Structure 1
Amino acid sequence: MTSGTRHSQSRRPGAYLLTWQGVMKTVDLSGAAWFKSSRSNGQSACVEVAFVPGDRVATRDSKDQTSPVLIFPAQVWAAFIGGVATGALDQL
């Protein structure tokens, strides 16, 4: 099991500190193109996703766009989406 991603908003708007396996990097999300699932039907209880530089995927709450952002390596996000699509996570 790999260590998780932790981040906190830095003093610069749109910039987040990303910690992955003990390495800290700044991720600038000010230009991120956020989107929701096409199945959201305009509801506000959704997760927004943005593909960001460094082969990462950022996620946030669509109801509160100033809330903390979770950032995952793209391959971890792909494994999660695959698990959702196949029903592998239905029993969790």
Structure 2
Amino acid sequence: MTEQPTSQVMEAMFEGALWHKSTYSGINNGCIEHAVLASGRHAVRDTKDRALGAHTFGRDQWRAFVTAVCDGSI
């Protein structure tokens, strides 16, 4: 079992991140936000509930995800 990062670690990880809302945002704020972190990792969070934190992905994981979305395989 892995330890969950503390809130201080999470805050430091996302400090200075420039979040961008999806261009596919819905009327009811039903969308996600994306940021590239200082570490080079990519982060995704729910616009409606930012306090829940974000999922982070390495560069290769992010590229594979975006490719799969673009080619319709997911």
TM-score (structure 2 length as normaliser): 0.78
* Structure 2 counterpart SS, 1:33: coil
Q: Which structure features the higher share of helix residues?
A: 2
Q: Which structure features the higher share of strand residues?
A: 1
- The aligned residue for residue 71 of structure 2 is 86
Contact 2:25 2:32 in 1 (8 A): no
Mark the runs of 5 or more structure 2 residues left unpaired by the alignment. Answer: none
CA RMSD in angstroms, aligned pairs only: 2.4
Percent identity (aligned): 29
Mark the runs of 5 or more structure 1 residues left unpaired by the alignment. Answer: 1-5, 17-25
Contact 1:34 1:50 in 2 (8 A): yes
TM-score (structure 1 length as normaliser): 0.65
- The aligned residue for residue 74 of structure 1 is 59
- Distance in 2, matches of 1:37 and 1:11, equals 25
Q: How many residues align?
A: 73
- Distance in 1, matches of 2:15 and 2:3, equals 15
User: 1:58 pairs with 32, 37, 43, which one?
Assistant: 43
Letter in 1 for 2:61: V
CA 1:50–1:8 in 2, change beyond 3 Å: closer, same or farther?
farther
